[in-house]
Structure 1
Amino acid sequence: MKLLSVAIPCYNSSSYMNHAIETLLTGGEDMEIILVDDGSKDETLQVAKEYENRYPGIIRTIHQENGGHGEAVNTGLRNASGLYFKVVDSDDWVNEEALQKILEVLRTMVENAQSLDMLIANYVYEKVSLGKQKVIEYKGALPENCIFTWSDTGHFKNSQNIIMHSVIYRTKLLKECGLVLPSHTFYVDNIFVYYPLTYVKTMYYLNVDFYRYFIGREGQSVNEQIMMQRIDQQLKVNKIIIDCHDLTKIKCKKLRHYMVKYLVMMLTVSTVFLVKDGSEESLKKRDELWDYLKKKNKRLYHEVNKYFLGKSMQMSSRTGRKIIIIGYHISRKIYGFS
């Protein structure tokens, strides 16, 4: 059985997907690399097949009708045979030395029959066109180089959200918890990393700069203009996040606090884009989003409002909306996506 399965969702990726594949191939026979061609219209499938022919024991190619990023991840997970599971987007890549260290940790866990649900490593914003990098690490928030539980975690800074790029889950956990991402929907990476958290009992933080998150490709889903155009999909993901767990019933205070804080971040991002648009329709959608949370879970709504961001995002005056936008431009630097 393979140690680590990595799914690479590919859509019209033929011109750049090789970088992700080549860095993962350095993991050798411990790796299962699943290339999911999501109905590409370029030579993505041909490139994937060529890699499969060259590395038949490591690379598998799956072709499907276009279902979006989430459905490609679903396909990768359904077909994963490795003990652990990771998603690497086709325009990103991993650091080879960090990969070796991660495989060593996972191998040790298996050899010692230790139960590990989630491994966390650092990720790096790679702004290649600007020649800049920003490392997101979890020092202070997570114990290093040991198995720990949610009760052992510390304070998460605003920049230390655990995201899809920083996690490797135990494959069986993802399958048993019933994780299925919606098709034809962007921003489902938030669901991927958020939904399984209540099922995670044991974690391990390896302080290495593993995942390289490429920023700056034209048409990229995290481009601000693209995000504003796809605001309805963001709102859909927000509602799925609200619905997937009753956070007020989580017994572990630190896990509950982290998940509420993550929800606040999600609501804040969507609210800011709606306020920046400023149209009557967008402001109505902002109000509908917060009303949805209030009607779904009144206790959670009040808990979210204890956060400054949670309360301030609902300011309705013109001055209040200006404050929201100014605060957003400041927080962009804190979160590291600018």
Structure 2
Amino acid sequence: MSKVLSVIIPTYNMEALLPRCLDSLLADEALESLEVIVVNDGSKDGSLGIARSYASRFPSTVTVIDKPNGNYGSTINAALPVAKGSYVKILDADDFNDTKALLQFLSALSGIDADLAVTHFTQLGSGGAKEVFKYNTMGKEPYEYGKVYEADDVLKDGYIRFFLMHAIAYRTDLLRNIGYHQSEGISYTDTELAFLPIFHIASLVFLDINLYQYNLDREGQTMNPVVLARSASQLEKVTDRLLEYYESHIAAVSEVRRAFMKQYIENRLRVMFKLHLLDMPRNSFNAEVFGAMFDKYMEACRRDGLSFKLYPDNKLLRINYITYWQKHRRRWPAALERCNSLLDKVVKWAYVKIYRR
């Protein structure tokens, strides 16, 4: 039986969590149609031994690639050329899949023909907190599950602003045909996987399956605010790659795709500015470093016709960060930042209670 799905698991020093990840995949009913590729990225702990033990137990399903450390993107680049599945999905070693949902996903993939499959995912926080993310807008789910849409018919409607790695699986041949290659030597390159191929997809399908279980409750997790602040330079390098790809491919796509990708890159620049101007601890903020990045990206905005504003997430304080920086070349006063942080928490709590399940 041919493999329906290849799951690539980038692994670096994950001996404590890799077994949970692998166990979530290797149900008896999944083995024939599933391929699991564990890429050991130069781990210094027992991750490689664990991966090889699973490969010996499940030789027709689990493959291990052992390579020197090259960071996240290098693991994808190592696995993609050898993947046998019709579709490919990334699963970080500290995360896991819902096993029942995986079986549903495999069944669904075997009966569809689309470049991109989009599922739900659960974000797991501290103290057992769970939040399910679906591609909806303010509680509305506008797409028929299981129906294959032409990509532009979805991208034109404004409901979807971006895709996240946890929710997507691509047709393997699509990634190979576009020569997909992820940046190496830095973290946060999963954003490239969620952005670059969208220029090329012709079709997509939404599936009512809550597959990926995204673990944020781990010390050192890359999305931890402290780690993010330390990694601002890596995020900037990823943003540079997205912008470079945008500029080299935008002229060749439809007007609908152009508008979607323009919105995406504007949002990415907004995220970068927000990281420095509000999210980053004040004692980590470097005005000179941010000023250079700000000027570089504002020049790109002028060059590419990009335009956006940056207001607080709570949408109650109507002070544009960008205008404030341009006028004062400094961040907001500390008292205003504390007030804004409190409002953000209150508004997010209310939103989750009303719209998320």
SS in structure 1 of the partner of residue 10 of structure 2: strand
Question: Of residues 121, 126, 130 in structure 1, which corresponds to 2:127?
Answer: 130
Query: C-alpha separation between the residues in 1 aligned to 2:129 and 2:329?
Result: 35
Contact 2:270–2:310, Cα closer than 8 Å, also in 1 = no
Query: C-alpha separation between the residues in 1 aligned to 2:182 and 2:259?
Result: 24
Aligned to 1:272: 274
SS in structure 2 of the partner of residue 314 of structure 1: helix
Query: C-alpha separation between the residues in 2 aligned to 1:289 and 1:217?
Result: 34
SS in structure 1 of the partner of residue 208 of structure 2: strand
Structure 2-normalised TM-score? 0.82
Contact 2:17–2:93, Cα closer than 8 Å, also in 1 = yes
1:247-258 matches, within 5 Å, as: 249=251, 251-258=253-260
SS in structure 2 of the partner of residue 322 of structure 1: coil
Matched, 1:95 2:98: yes
AA partner of residue 289 (structure 2): S
**Higher-Rg member (1/2):** 2
Question: Of residues 107, 110, 128 in structure 2, which corresponds to 1:107?
Answer: 110
Structure 1-normalised TM-score? 0.87
Aligned to 2:316: none
Aligned to 2:81: 78
AA partner of residue 222 (structure 1): M
* Structure 1 residues not aligned, in runs of 5+: 110-114
Contact 2:147–2:205, Cα closer than 8 Å, also in 1 = yes
SS in structure 2 of the partner of residue 210 of structure 1: strand
CA deviation string 1:125-148 (max 9, x = no partner): 111x32111111014354422000
Aligned to 2:332: 322
CA change 1:132–1:170 in 2 (3 A) is: same
CA shift for structure 1 position 319: 9.8
Matched, 1:46 2:54: no
Contact 2:310–2:322, Cα closer than 8 Å, also in 1 = no
CA shift for structure 1 position 313: 4.6
AA partner of residue 305 (structure 2): L
CA shift for structure 1 position 218: 0.8
Percent identity among equivalent residues? Answer: 24
CA change 1:79–1:292 in 2 (3 A) is: farther
CA change 1:30–1:54 in 2 (3 A) is: same
Aligned to 1:155: 158
CA change 1:87–1:329 in 2 (3 A) is: farther
Aligned to 1:112: none
Aligned to 1:238: 239
CA deviation string 1:175-225 (max 9, x = no partner): 111111111111100101100001100111002211110002111111111
Aligned to 1:291: 298
CA shift for structure 1 position 308: 5.3
CA deviation string 1:43-101 (max 9, x = no partner): 01100110000000000011000000110111121221111101000000111222112
Aligned to 2:170: 169
Contact 1:274–1:286, Cα closer than 8 Å, also in 2 = no
AA partner of residue 155 (structure 1): G
Contact 1:272–1:328, Cα closer than 8 Å, also in 2 = no
Matched, 1:333 2:353: no
Query: C-alpha separation between the residues in 1 aligned to 2:270 and 2:120?
Result: 24
CA shift for structure 1 position 249: 2.8
SS in structure 2 of the partner of residue 116 of structure 1: coil
Q: Give the aligned length.
A: 323
CA deviation string 1:284-337 (max 9, x = no partner): 234234235236xx2332xx33x556994522145984299538973993998x
CA change 1:261–1:142 in 2 (3 A) is: farther
RMSD over equivalenced CA pairs, Å: 2.7
CA change 1:286–1:319 in 2 (3 A) is: closer
Aligned to 2:223: 222
Aligned to 1:194: 195
